[in-house]
């Protein structure tokens, strides 16, 4: 498969991944500007120069891919993964169509301009102490190797509330809302550890119905989302195959474990992070405490940290069949060593620039080769149209790769 790829060493214009090398990990870098792939040996690449350390704030977190049954060799069945993927893809498609319809309507309503300005400025600020010392260094989440959480997803450990308590959240580049299961939990799935209790956190604050930020979420009762002026803002967010979360929209402090270049560990806070306190949660999230959205929309964790890291992040997901003691990584902010890596190739993200509320990350596929043979797939098959239809989405929540019917049939005929 090829993209409009550019090599950092200016010697390669493809995205070449040598499968013969052992212990390789595929590095994905996502920002508002581009999507990058990197081969990474077991070596972490050594230290960085002083100028690079000071040039850009960088936050690194560790992710763990946890098998469904907790066994070192266990994995979900092919049909189970496929059925879940199909449900998710149907959800993504529905969201795209709904977004297209919303865009058509918004062109007829000039008062939408105020909402767009709100979306652009709805960013969680860092705490005063974070501003004073800066957030340069590496941010690492706590991991539990080999622990079964009943899911085949990728998890990230996050500390929420005051005092901070640990929760494992599913990482998702295909959605925006950050949410966790909350007390009282009227209809919740099983998770490891207790539910989040807002009464035990001194930094928890509800967002009211009259707060402009309430318009950033969908309501479980669109005709009349708020029954009283002082009511807490309700939210509803759905993913597909009956997976959804409903609860109260709120603000909370997220605490991160910062590792400085000298190796010193410090805790830093990011205050007023918008998140969902879910009281009714159903679907494909078993084992997790909730979900951490990394999409392009204003509610995602990445978007709310853009004042600190410029909405630039990268992740390296270890293969599900690899050693369970090997962790994946998530880095917020630019990594100069990574950008200058000789085996790094990158391609520009496409689409979504006209609408700041677009969620998905798109890449432009140019061609596909099977057995060294270039397949005769019309280029228009891969194009993202001006009204938001088509294109290829990068989604961490989908296990397999899926293609439009014309491309699929050609590939199927070539392989079978």
Whether residue 176 has pLDDT greater than 90: yes
On the question of a cis peptide bond just before residue 184, with omega within 30 degrees of 0, the verdict is yes
CA distance 182 to 299: 19
Q: Say how far residue 216 (Cα) sits from the centre of its chain.
A: 18
Whether residue 117 has pLDDT greater than 60: no
CA distance 239 to 285: 11
The predicted model gives 81-87 an average pLDDT of 71
The predicted model gives 195-200 an average pLDDT of 98
Condensed to tens digits (0 to 9), the pLDDT of residues 302-325 reads 899 887 777 788 887 777 666 766
CA distance 162 to 278: 18
Check residue 139 and give its pLDDT: 59
Least confident of 14-23, 65-74, 102-111, 273-282: 14-23
Check residue 199 and give its pLDDT: 97
pLDDT band at 137 (very low <50, low <70, confident <90, very high): very low
Whether residue 238 has pLDDT greater than 80: yes
Check residue 44 and give its pLDDT: 46
Smallest CA-to-CA distance from 234 within 197, 193, 279 is with 279
Give the pTM: 0.72
Q: Are 166 and 157 in contact (CB under 8 A)?
A: yes
Check residue 310 and give its pLDDT: 74
More confident residue, 31 or 96: 96
Check residue 261 and give its pLDDT: 52
Q: Are 160 and 194 in contact (CB under 8 A)?
A: no
Check residue 256 and give its pLDDT: 72
On the question of a cis peptide bond just before residue 163, with omega within 30 degrees of 0, the verdict is yes
More confident residue, 337 or 368: 368
Whether residue 151 has pLDDT greater than 80: no
55 CB-near residues (< 8 Å, 6+ apart): 334, 336
Cα angle at 291 between 98 and 223, to 5 degrees? 40
pLDDT band at 22 (very low <50, low <70, confident <90, very high): very low
Check residue 203 and give its pLDDT: 98
Residue 123 corresponds to which tokens in the numbers above?
């960013």
Q: Which residues of 45-80 are buried (b: 16+ CB within 10 A; e: fewer)?
A: eeebeeebbeeebbbbbbbbbbbbeeeeeebbeeee
Least confident of 89-93, 198-202, 368-372, 392-396: 89-93
pLDDT band at 187 (very low <50, low <70, confident <90, very high): very high
Supply the residues annotated as catalytic.
172, 395
CA distance 249 to 274: 7
pLDDT band at 267 (very low <50, low <70, confident <90, very high): confident
Q: Where are the domains of the chain?
A: 1-416
Check residue 351 and give its pLDDT: 66
Give domain 1-416's CATH superfamily. Acid Proteases (2.40.70.10)
Check residue 171 and give its pLDDT: 85
Report the largest interatomic distance among the alpha carbons of the chain, rounded to a whole angstrom: 64
Whether residue 48 has pLDDT greater than 50: no
Q: Say how far residue 345 (Cα) sits from the centre of its chain.
A: 21
Report the length, in residues, of the chain.
416
Range among 7-21, 37-51, 374-388 with highest mean pLDDT value:
374-388
Residue 52 corresponds to which tokens in the numbers above?
């690079």
Mean pLDDT of the chain: 71
CA distance 409 to 416: 10
Condensed to tens digits (0 to 9), the pLDDT of residues 11-20 reads 333 333 333 3
More confident residue, 126 or 264: 264
352 CB-near residues (< 8 Å, 6+ apart): 296, 358, 360, 362
Check residue 315 and give its pLDDT: 80
Whether residue 42 has pLDDT greater than 60: no
pLDDT band at 396 (very low <50, low <70, confident <90, very high): confident
Number of H-type helices and E-type strands within the chain: 8, 22
CA distance 59 to 294: 15
CA distance 346 to 262: 30
CA distance 289 to 218: 21
Q: Which residues of 156-182 are buried (b: 16+ CB within 10 A; e: fewer)?
A: bbbbbbbebbebbbbbbbbbbbbbbbb
- pLDDT > 70 in the chain, percent: 57
Whether residue 72 has pLDDT greater than 50: no
pLDDT band at 186 (very low <50, low <70, confident <90, very high): very high
Q: Are 321 and 261 in contact (CB under 8 A)?
A: no
């Amino acid at each position: 498969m090829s993209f409009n790829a550019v090599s950092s060493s200016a010697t390669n214009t493809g995205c070449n991944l040598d499968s013969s090398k052992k212990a390789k990990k595929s590095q994905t870098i996502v920002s508002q500007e581009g999507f990058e792939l990197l081969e990474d040996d077991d070596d972490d690449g050594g230290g960085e120069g002083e100028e690079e350390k000071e040039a850009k704030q960088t936050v690194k977190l560790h992710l763990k891919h946890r098998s469904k049954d907790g066994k070192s060799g266990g994995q979900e069945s092919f049909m189970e993964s496929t059925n879940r993927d199909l449900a998710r893809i149907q959800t993504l498609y529905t969201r795209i169509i709904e977004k297209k319809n919303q865009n058509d309507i918004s062109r007829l309503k000039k008062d939408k301009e105020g909402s767009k300005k709100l979306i652009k400025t709805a960013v969680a600020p860092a705490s005063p102490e974070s501003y004073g010392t800066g957030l340069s260094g590496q941010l690492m989440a706590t991991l539990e190797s080999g622990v079964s959480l009943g899911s085949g997803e990728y998890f990230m450990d996050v500390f929420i509330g005051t005092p901070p308590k640990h929760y494992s959240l599913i990482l998702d580049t295909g959605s925006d809302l950050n949410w966790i299961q909350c007390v009282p939990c009227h209809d919740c799935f099983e998770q490891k550890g207790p539910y989040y209790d807002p009464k035990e956190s001194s930094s928890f604050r509800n967002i009211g119905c009259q707060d402009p930020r309430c318009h950033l979420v969908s309501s479980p009762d669109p005709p009349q989302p708020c029954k009283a002026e002082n009511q807490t803002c309700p939210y509803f967010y759905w993913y597909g195959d009956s997976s959804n979360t409903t609860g109260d929209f709120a603000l909370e402090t997220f605490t991160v474990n910062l590792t400085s270049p000298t190796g010193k560990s410090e805790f830093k806070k990011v205050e007023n992070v918008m998140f969902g306190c879910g009281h009714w949660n159903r679907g494909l999230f078993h084992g997790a405490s909730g979900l951490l959205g990394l999409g392009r929309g204003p509610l995602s964790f990445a978007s709310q940290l853009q004042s600190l890291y410029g909405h630039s992040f990268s992740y390296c997901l270890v293969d599900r069949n690899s050693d369970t003691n090997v962790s994946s990584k998530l880095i917020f902010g630019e990594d100069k060593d990574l950008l200058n890596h000789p085996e790094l190739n990158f391609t520009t993200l496409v689409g979504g620039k006209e609408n700041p509320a677009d969620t998905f990350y798109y890449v432009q596929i140019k061609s596909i080769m099977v057995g060294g043979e270039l397949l005769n797939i019309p280029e228009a098959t891969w194009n993202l149209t001006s009204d938001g239809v088509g294109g290829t989405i990068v989604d961490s929540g989908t296990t397999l790769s899926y293609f439009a019917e014309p491309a699929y049939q050609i590939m199927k005929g070539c392989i079978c």
